[in-house]
Amino acid sequence: MLLKTILVAFIPILLLFNICLAGEDFPFLAEVNADNINIRIDSTAGSSIICVVNKNEQVEVITSAYDWYKIRLPERASAYIKKDLLECVGYSEIQNICGSAKVLKEIVNVRFGASESSPIIGKIRKNEIVRILAESSSWCKVRPPLNCFGWINKKFVRKVVSSKESQPQKKPIKDAAKEAGCQDIIIIEGRILPKTIKRIASHKIVDKDKRLYLLKSDKIGLNFFNHQKVKITGWLIDQAKPRTNSIINVEKIEVVS
């Protein structure tokens, strides 16, 4: 009887909690409102500090827990992967080290420090590509992959109004392409790579048949997908040229697992 009473009293609290969570539409973009704010390993004030963010920096919020937001880690955050779990696929002549590497095991831990006792900040799957920043005999320091996260106190960030909320609804891609004078909608899968000579476009994509396409889109947004396998939807904007090395006006990017 006592247990039943407790459950009955507790149900409204659970419902209220769920309603509060439902009020936040994840993920969303947020802006830091103060300087020297810590991003931590866990949603507690005493957990290890991964890195620091400053006022006006933007972070991507994934979910929340009590007074904390779970966010995707910025590029400057420390992230390490054991060297024997990676295979070099690109050499950096400038740094004289392996520049990019492929993950060899099904699921590999990304850690905060170069030690197996260091906290796990994310995971990465087999065949994904990571950017190498530095290496030692046993560990590689990498640019944090997409699935690396930390925690920030809610009081230090505010939600940024998304383009979807602040602008009129985007036209369907077929209508947008038609208005641009293009009929040739294209959907292509491949890996996004930065261009070394940035004249027409800052990035390119190479499909499974080794065909190369230049990408017209926001450079910062494309940087987010560097070396990732993606599916791009857009339209060709230089139909007079052969399809190889054509320019794609990017409308949608999806990561392919």
154-193: pLDDT as tens digits = 999 999 875 444 444 555 555 554 554 455 678 888 888 8
Q: Are residue 245 and residue 176 in the same domain, yes or no?
A: yes
Q: What is the CATH number of the domain that holds 50?
A: 2.30.30.40
Q: Taking Cα atoms as reference points, which of 65, 73, 60, 58 lies closest to residue 17?
A: 65
Q: Lowest-pLDDT range, 89-93, 151-155, 243-247? A: 243-247
> What is the pLDDT confidence band of residue 194, given thresholds at 50, 70 and 90?
confident
Judge whether 56 lies within some domain.
yes
Q: What's the pLDDT at 151? A: 97
CA distances from 159 to 25, 86, 144 (A): 11, 37, 23
Q: Are residue 154 and residue 53 in the same domain, yes or no?
A: yes
Q: What is the CATH number of the domain that holds 170?
A: 2.40.50.500
Q: Are residue 179 and residue 243 in the same domain, yes or no?
A: yes
CA distances from 68 to 21, 61, 132, 160 (A): 13, 10, 30, 17
Q: Are residue 136 and residue 151 in the same domain, yes or no?
A: no
Identity of the highest mean pLDDT range in 52-61, 91-100, 181-190, 238-247: 52-61
Judge whether 126 lies within some domain.
yes
Q: Are residue 124 and residue 228 in the same domain, yes or no?
A: no
Domain count, the chain: 3
Q: What's the pLDDT at 244? A: 52
Judge whether 20 lies within some domain.
no
Judge whether 12 lies within some domain.
no
Q: Are residue 170 and residue 240 in the same domain, yes or no?
A: yes
Give the global pTM. Answer: 0.58
Q: What phi and psi values does residue 214 have, to the nearest 5 degrees? A: -85, 150
Mean pLDDT of the 101-105 span: 91
Q: What's the pLDDT at 234? A: 81
High-pLDDT (> 70) share of the chain, %: 72
Judge whether 19 lies within some domain.
no
Residue 92 and residue 95: Cα distance in Å, rounded?
Answer: 6
Q: Are residue 72 and residue 154 in the same domain, yes or no?
A: yes
Residue 15 has pLDDT above 80, yes or no: no
Residue 12 has pLDDT above 60, yes or no: no
Q: What is the mean pLDDT of the chain?
A: 79
Q: What is the pLDDT of residues 18-45, one digit of tens each?
A: 434 445 788 889 999 999 999 999 999 9
Q: Are residue 93 and residue 106 in the same domain, yes or no?
A: yes
Q: Are residue 226 and residue 243 in the same domain, yes or no?
A: yes
Q: Are residue 90 and residue 71 in the same domain, yes or no?
A: no
* Cβ(140)–Cβ(86) below 8 Å: yes
Residue 237 and residue 179: Cα distance in Å, rounded?
Answer: 12
Q: Are residue 91 and residue 194 in the same domain, yes or no?
A: no
CB atoms within 10 A of CB 148: 22
Identify the domain containing residue 221 by its residue range: 166-252
Residue 86 and residue 102: Cα distance in Å, rounded?
Answer: 5
Q: Are residue 154 and residue 32 in the same domain, yes or no?
A: yes
Judge whether 10 lies within some domain.
no
> What is the pLDDT confidence band of residue 100, given thresholds at 50, 70 and 90?
confident
Q: Taking Cα atoms as reference points, which of 79, 78, 77, 129 lies closest to residue 103?
A: 129
